[in-house]
Amino acid sequence: MSRPLLLGLDDGTTAVKAALFDVDLHPVAVARRRVASAHPGPGLVEQDPLPLTPIHVWQDKRAQTVVDRMAGTEAGREVAARTGLPLDPYCSAPKLAWLLEHDDAVSGAVARGALEGIAWRVADIVEAVRAGVGVDALRVPVADRIEPRRDARWRSDEHAGWRAFVEAAAGLPA
């Protein structure tokens, strides 16, 4: 007979870690694999490439131009106000907007309908959390501007369009 186990994953900047726990939260197994980063220039931090482009990690600042553009708009100010966080190139929407503007492989994949982007994957995490998979993952979408602060008062129709609003504020295509 199998017993229930809890798997914790941390896809971090320097390593990917996994820990398996029993129902009493005693560790059953732990694994860690290092992730190498490259610094091709000031403020640039990349990891092993995906099929289209190197991964621009949270420390990478090349999307600052998109953030500056967002900050000068009413929509950008609303994103900051509703999330309670300053606009930052850390976020997926500015990173994806920057890639669409500067990387032909990424913009070509989007034009062909072959790329959904990081922001949509994070939104899937939110849905998993709401379904009871885990609570800690909510930290990522809030910081990523996909979800409003927990204390924000929203009508359900406002909340339903939030992801599209953030993406539009960053200049992403609908």
Asked whether 62 and 43 are in contact (CB, 8 A), the reply is yes
Which stretch of DSSP H or E encloses residue 116? none
Residue 97 has pLDDT above 80, yes or no: yes
Distance from C-alpha of 166 to C-alpha of 168, rounded to nearest angstrom: 5
pTM of the complete model beyond 0.85: no
| pLDDT digit string, tens, across residues 121-174 | 444 444 544 554 443 443 444 445 555 555 555 555 555 577 777 778 888 776
Asked whether 66 and 73 are in contact (CB, 8 A), the reply is no
pLDDT of residue 147: 56
Closest to 144 in 3D by CA, of 125, 130, 158, 131:
125
Structure tokens at 113: 């309908």
Secondary structure (3-state) at 54? strand
**Residue type for 32, please?**
R
Residue 164, class by beta-carbon neighbours within 10 Å (0-12 exposed, 13-18 middle, 19+ buried)? Answer: exposed
User: 29 has which bridge partners?
Assistant: 20
Asked whether 31 and 17 are in contact (CB, 8 A), the reply is yes
Percent of the chain scoring above 70 in pLDDT: 72
Residue ranges of E strands in the chain: 6-11, 15-21, 27-34, 37-41, 44-49, 54-56
**Residue type for 45, please?**
V
| pLDDT digit string, tens, across residues 15-55 | 989 999 998 999 999 999 998 999 999 999 998 877 788 88
**Residue type for 115, please?**
L
Query: Max alpha carbon distance in the chain (Å)?
Result: 59
Distance from C-alpha of 79 to C-alpha of 164, rounded to nearest angstrom: 11
